[in-house]
Amino acid sequence: MSTTWHILGAGSLGTLWATRLARAGLPVRLLLRDRTRLQAYQAAGGLTLIEQGQSSLHPIPGETCDSPQPIHRLLLACKAYDAEAAVASIAKRLAPGAELILLQNGLGSQDAVAAKVPEARCIAASSTEGAFRDGDWRVVFAGHGYTWLGDTAHPGAPIWLDELTASGIPHEWTTQILTRLWRKLALNCAINPLTVLHDCRNGGLQQHQCEVATLCIELGELLQCCGQPDAARDLQQEVERVIHATAANFSSMHQDVANRRRTEISYLLGYACNAAVRHQLALPHLQRLQQRLKDQLHLHGLPSD
């Protein structure tokens, strides 16, 4: 009998994982905040995945975070700013040897989670898959991609990777997960805040090449200083490539602001600026970018943390 996949966070990525695992016949249970959310979920009859215009309903069992059953494997699929509190709410349910897979973007939340559950194995993930909610309990699979998984404390791959293969979840185990997370953070810092400040699609940054280039230089210095030379390699070229390849898209941060949702700024640009301060590295353009972004978030009535 396979180990149950407990999935906390029935949002975009949580649904994308839950429905594919369940479709492959694996045991999956959703962890929902409280009874109200559980009742709403049960009334909907399950999670709906919309893929290439086709929708499918998956009646995956749900439970609240305070159910008594032990958890052996947990996919943490909430936003970075919710991760620590979410894990605290299920910590006492974790069985000895439990494994957590952390899907949060950026850096900072992984360490905060690991500190809350020192006995558990925490595996970090970095994903280029894309999904969004078009209603409660409904998720559109918008962009095929890849998920890298790794554990900075233990290099050995877990046995359940073949379950991801069986579920059609493209993935790769890496011993360099920190490099992946830093690289993605740097790309995000060079692109996303500017799309908010200039209120443009990613391609709009082609009009602001100097600003982008200056940020890439500072981000490269930061990555070197943080012991991540591989994440710094050809950063500017990749930023330009991403801007070009995703020219028609709005960045996730732009979408968050446009939809009046809290951003993950503290785990992206905020994390980068704090790391610079810790290393006594002066990065004036990055610091100024953070201040401009915070001011903009205030203007929109959104939290700046």
From 79, 116, 184, 294, the catalytic residue: 184
254 is a site residue for ligand NAP (CB under 6 A):
no
- The answer to whether residue 116 is catalytic is no
Output phi, psi for 146, to 5 deg: -145, 150
Q: Which is nearer to ligand NAP, 102 or 283 (CB)?
A: 102
CB of 209 closer than 8 Å to CB of 191: no
Q: Closest distance between ligand NAP and the C-beta of residue 135, in Å?
A: 11
51 is a site residue for ligand NAP (CB under 6 A):
no
- The token pair at 32 is 């929902």
88 is a site residue for ligand NAP (CB under 6 A):
no
| Residue 11, burial from CB neighbour count under 10 angstroms (0-12, 13-18, 19+) | middle
Output phi, psi for 62, to 5 deg: -120, 160
Query: What does DSSP say about strands 130-135 and 28-32: parallel, antiparallel, or unpaired?
Result: unpaired
65 is a site residue for ligand NAP (CB under 6 A):
yes
Rounded distance between C-alpha atoms, residue 226 and residue 79, angstroms: 24
86 is a site residue for ligand NAP (CB under 6 A):
yes
Query: What does DSSP say about strands 94-102 and 121-127: parallel, antiparallel, or unpaired?
Result: parallel
* Region binding ligand NAP by CB under 6 A among candidate stretches 53-61, 101-109, 222-230, 269-277: 101-109
122 is a site residue for ligand NAP (CB under 6 A):
no
Rounded distance between C-alpha atoms, residue 99 and residue 215, angstroms: 37
Q: CA 165: distance to chain centroid? A: 20
232 is a site residue for ligand NAP (CB under 6 A):
no
- The token pair at 50 is 């919309």
Q: Closest distance between ligand NAP and the C-beta of residue 22, in Å?
A: 17
Q: Which of residues 32, 194, 273, 276 is near ligand NAP by CB under 6 A?
A: 32
- Spell out, one character per residue from 132 to 171, where the chain touches ligand NAP: x when CB under 6 A holds, - when not: -x--------------------------------------
78 is a site residue for ligand NAP (CB under 6 A):
yes
The HSE-up count of residue 249 (CA atoms within 13 Å, CB side) is: 13
Active site amino acids: 184
Q: Which residues in this chain contact ligand NAP in the complex, by CB under 6 A?
A: 8-14, 31-33, 37, 65, 77-80, 82, 85-86, 89, 103-105, 127, 129-131, 133, 264
